[in-house]
Structure 1
Amino acid sequence: MKICRLSDFVWWYVLLLCQSDLSLALSFNKKDEIRERDWCNVVTCHMDSEQAYVWLLQNFVIGEHILRPCSENPTPVKACAISACGNFAVLGTAGGWIERFNLQSGISQGSYVDTPKGSAHDGESAAEGAIRET
């Protein structure tokens, strides 16, 4: 019996097909393929969920870290992205919080907040726009 390995493209296509059924916002990074199998390379945020999940696409498994931004005032994560270097996930919440996490450790590496307002942006549509610009 011959075992065939599905290419990363096939997994990406499967994730896109599942996106509408699972209410996922997907972020996928193919820029640094040398180290891409060393740690998670996909981040998903789910409808009305206050956390985001990281995945290792090579094995199509959920990662060991669950990313939870702004523990003082939890609101649903509305946008997610992976940095160009592939080391960080950036999450934006409905409450105006944008936070960066290390994908290897799952530890927060800082947040982006306008101190007088107590948030980085106004509402969820601004979160999605702010994440797309990073």
Structure 2
Amino acid sequence: MNELRSRAATLVAAAALGTSLLSTSALRINQGWSDRLFVGLALVALGVVVVSAVLILWPREWKWRTDGHKLLIDYVEADPPATINEMRRDLAYFITDDLRENDTKLKNLWLLLEVAIIAIAAEVAFWAVVIIF
């Protein structure tokens, strides 16, 4: 998670730097309608990078259901007490369930990072089109 957030923050910095450097050159050019279109697309791509990064950096709740107090109440102090095998089985079930849910969240965050990477590449390409053509 830390690596993912670090990469997202780096992408925002790179996108902002790229926009500040390339937009200066691009906006000096006498702009026709096609230049304005590509400038708009570059700014939209920048927005996609920023929104993706914010969604990645936004705090989330992760599931971890191994509460010692609940184990004692539900298994050890229950009437009749559960066997150790019953407790192990339930723990394995709940932990696996939590891991799957957390894994789905994490995969979605990596997908957002991929979207941001594509958007920053598109942003640079759009600025380059304005400058070169």
Give the TM-score normalised by the residue count of structure 2.
Answer: 0.22
Compute the TM-score of the two structures, normalised by the length of structure 1. Answer: 0.22
Structure having the larger proportion of residues in helix: 2
The structure with higher relative contact order (CA 8 Å, sep 6+) is 2
From the two aligned structures, give the one with the greater strand fraction.
Answer: 1
